Chains A and B, each alone.
Chain A
Amino acid sequence: MSEISIRHLSKTFQSADGTVEALKDVSIEISSGDIYGIIGMSGAGKSTLVRCINYLEVPSQGEVLIDGHELGSYSESELRAQRKNIGMIFQHFNLLMQKSVLENVCFPLYIQGKSKQEARKKAAELLEIVGLYDKQKAFPAQLSGGQMQRVAIARALASDPQILLCDEATSALDPQTTSSILELLGNINRDFGITIVIITHQMSVVREVCRHVAILKEGVVIEEGLVSDIFSHPKTEVARELIRKDILTDPETEKAALMSEIQGGDIIRIVFSENSAFEPVIANLILTFQEPVNILRANTRNVGGVAKGEMILQFMEYSQRKEAMKHYLKECGLAVEEAPEYAH
C-alpha cells in the first residue's frame, strides 16, 4: 500500500490579481521506503504540493492520505501529532539562529515534551549520524550551508519520522555539497527506511538519488514514473528539456565545443538501457554499413542505480542509409529519437 496517497488534489490561492490555481487535480502515489522526486520549473506548484503532504497548506479540493488516514479528517491537535511523523527540510535551512546546533536538534523533542537530558542525548546521536558531532556547541551562523542543512536533517530526524520532505533542500548549495547532502539522504533512506520526497528544479538531483519522479508543469503532473524510464524515454517536451538542461550543466560537457563540431547531417539521440551500454554497438554499426557516424557526445551515468548511457550521433550529411542505420540501432535494444536541439 502506498504510504502517501495524493488524490485529485487542487489548490487555489486568492491574490490581488484574482484566483491562482497552483495545483490542478494532482494524483500521486508514493510507496513506503521510496525516494520520490517532484520536479518542475519555478512556479509549477511543487512547494505547494509538498506542503499539502503535511498540511502546512490545506488543499482546496482532494485528499492526502498518510498510511491510509486522510489528513483533512484530523483535528488541529491530531494534525500536530501527525506532523511529528513527517520531517521537513528547507532551501534556506530555517534553523534557529539564536540557538546552538545541539539545541536546534533538540527543538522538536522539546516540543514533544521530552526532558532536556533525554533530548540532548538523542540530538547528539543524530549529529553523529550527519557528521557534525563536534559542532554541537557551535551556532548556525558559524556553519557553512552544507553543515546547516545537515543540522536541519538531524533536526528533521529527531522525532523518528516515517517520511522526510525536502523542499529545494540543495538549491542553495554548490554542486559538491549538493552531492554530499544527497548521499546523506540516500543513506538515511537505506538505513532507516524513511520515505523521502524531494522537491527540486534540478534534474541532476533526481538522477542522483530518486527512484520515482513526477514532473509538474503549471500545477499538473504531466509525466510520472521510474527515473530510469523517464531518462531513457522522456515522453513530454518538459521532460526532455529538463534532461537536456541536466546534460548541459554537467561539468564534463562543454556546450560550445559540442556545438562547433556539428556539421550538416541529421542528429539522433540513442539511449542505452538495461546492460547494452557496454556492447560495441557503434563499432558494429560502422562495420556493418561501411559508413562513418560522428559521435557528438557520449555519456554513461548512474541513474537510479542502473547504468544508463546516452549518445548523440550525427549521420553523414548526404547519408542514404540513415533509416536503415536507425533500424539497426533499434534492433540492438536502443531507444532512438531525433535530437534536433543539438542542430543549431
Chain B
Amino acid sequence: MHIDLIGLIAAAAAPANVSEWIDTYGKMLVEGIWGTIYMTMVSTIIGYLFGLPMGVLLTVTRKDGLKPNALVYKVLDVIANIVRSIPFLILLILLIPFTRALVGKSYGTTAVIVPLSIAAIPFIARMVESSLTEVDAGVIEAARSMGASNMQIITRVLLVEGRTSLIVNATIAMGTILGYSAMAGTVGGGGLGDIAVRYGYNRYIYDVMFVTVALLIILFQIFQTYGMFFANHFDRRKSTTLKAGSLIFFIVFSVIMGAAAGVGIIQFIRTMFLR
C-alpha cells in the first residue's frame, strides 16, 4: 500500500496546488455530495412511505396488539426477515432486473434508490414496530376507555406518544441508508461512495478518497446531530429551553433538509417518469 501521504500534505500546504486540485475534482465532489444526499433522502422517504404502515401493521397485529392477527403478523414478519437477511450488496445485484424494468438502467443514483428503498422498508418497519410497542399500555387503555377506535389510537396515541423514539430511529435509519448508498458505489451507484471506490480502489488516488470519506463523515454527523436535536426538542417529557444558537442551527438545517428532500423527490419523479 502506497498511500500518498506526502503528496496529500503537500497539496494541503501549497495553495496553488489546492486550487488546482479543486479545479480538477471540485465539481465531481459537489455532484457526489448531492448524489449521496439525493439517494439517502429519497430512499428514506420512500422507505417510510411503505415502512411506516408496515411497522404500524406489525404493531397492531402482534399477539398483544390492538387487533391481534397471527396470519398477517406472520406474513409481514417473514417478509421483513427475508429482506433483512440478504446482505445489501447481494440484494443490489439481485434486484438489477427489477431496477432496470423500473428505472430503465441499473446504475446511477436514481437506479440505486430502488434497492436502497427495498432494503430500507423492512428495516424501517422493524424500527417503527419497536418504537410503537414501547408506548405505555396504560395510555392505550385510557384511550380505549374513552371510546377511541383502533384507528384513533394509532393516529392520536401511538404515533404521538412514540414520536421521540420514531425520530431517533429515523435518524438511525437515515444513517444506515447513507452507509448503504456508499456501498452501492461498488456497482456504479453514484454519489460519494462511487467516487471513493473509483478513485481509491480502482485508480489509487488516495487524496480524493480521503476527502470523500471526510465528506461522508461530515454528512453523517450533520444528519445525526440534526435528528437527535429534533427528537429532543419535541420530547415533552423533557423541559426544553432553546438557546438562540441552537434554534438558528435547527431552523437553517430544517430548511436545508426540507429543500434537499423536496428537490430530491422532484428529481426522482422526473428521472423515473419523464425519461
Contact = CB atoms under 8 A, between A and B. Distances in A.
Contacts of B142: 88, 90, 94-95, 152
Interface string A75-91: 00100111110111010
B275 interface: no
Contacts of B156: 107, 110-111
B157 interface: yes
Interface string B142-176: 11111111001000110011011000000000000
Which label, helix, strand, loop or mixed, suits the secondary structure of the A interface? mixed
Contacts of A94: 136, 138-139, 141-142
B237 interface: yes
Contacts of A140: 236
Contact of A142 (B139, B143, B239): B239
Contact of B237 (A81, A83, A90, A98): A98
Contacts of A88: 142, 145-146
B243 interface: no
A48 interface: no
B143 A99 contact: no
Max count, chain B CB within 10 A of own CB: residue among A54, A56, A107, A112:
A107
A96 B147 contact: no
Nearest to A103: B160
A139 interface: yes
A140 B141 CA distance: 18
Nearest to B137: A94
B163 A90 contact: no
A83 to B, nearest CB: 4
A81 B161 contact: no
Contacts of A98: 160-161, 163-164, 234-237
A97 B141 contact: no
B146 A83 contact: yes
Contact of B236 (A87, A97, A155, A159): A97
Contacts of B164: 98
B27 interface: no
A37 interface: no
A145 to B, nearest CB: 14
A140 B139 CA distance: 13
> Secondary structure at chain B's binding surface: helix, strand, loop or mixed?
helix
A141 interface: yes
A111 to B, nearest CB: 5
B147 A99 contact: no
A92 to B, nearest CB: 5
Given A96-B139, A96-B160, A80 B145 contact: no
Name which of B160, B236, B237 has the most chain A CB atoms within 10 A of its CB. B236
Contacts, number: 79
Contacts of A95: 139, 142
A86 B146 CA distance: 8
B238 interface: yes
A105 B131 CA distance: 25
Nearest to B157: A96
B138 A99 contact: no
Contacts of A86: 145
A142 B136 CA distance: 18
Given A90-B138, A96-B139, A111 B160 contact: no
Contacts of A56: 141, 144-145
A40 interface: no
Nearest to A76: B149
Nearest to B153: A111
A152 B142 CA distance: 10
A309 interface: no
Contacts of A87: 145-146
Nearest to A88: B145
Contacts of B138: 90, 92, 94
A47 B200 CA distance: 66
| Residue among A80, A83, A96, A140 with the highest chain B CB neighbour number at 10 A | A96
A219 to B, nearest CB: 21
A304 interface: no
A122 B147 CA distance: 18
B70 to A, nearest CB: 16
Given A94-B142, A139-B237, A80 B160 contact: no
A83 B236 contact: no
Contacts of B235: 98
A146 interface: no
Contact of B146 (A100, A108, A142): A108
Interface in B110-154: 136, 138-139, 141-149, 152
Given A98-B160, A98-B235, 20 more contacts: A54-B145, A56-B141, A81-B147, A82-B147, A84-B146, A84-B147, A88-B142, A97-B139, A97-B161, A97-B237, A98-B163, A98-B236, A99-B160, A107-B146, A107-B156, A108-B147, A111-B152, A139-B236, A141-B238, A159-B146
22 contacts: A56-B141, A56-B144, A77-B149, A80-B148, A83-B144, A83-B145, A84-B146, A87-B146, A88-B146, A90-B141, A94-B139, A96-B139, A97-B161, A98-B164, A107-B156, A108-B146, A111-B148, A139-B237, A140-B236, A141-B236, A159-B146, A165-B145
Interface of A: 54, 56, 77, 80-84, 86-88, 90, 92, 94-100, 107-108, 110-112, 139-142, 152, 155, 159, 165
Q: Which 4 A-B pairs have the closest CB atoms?
A: A94-B142, A83-B147, A88-B145, A94-B138
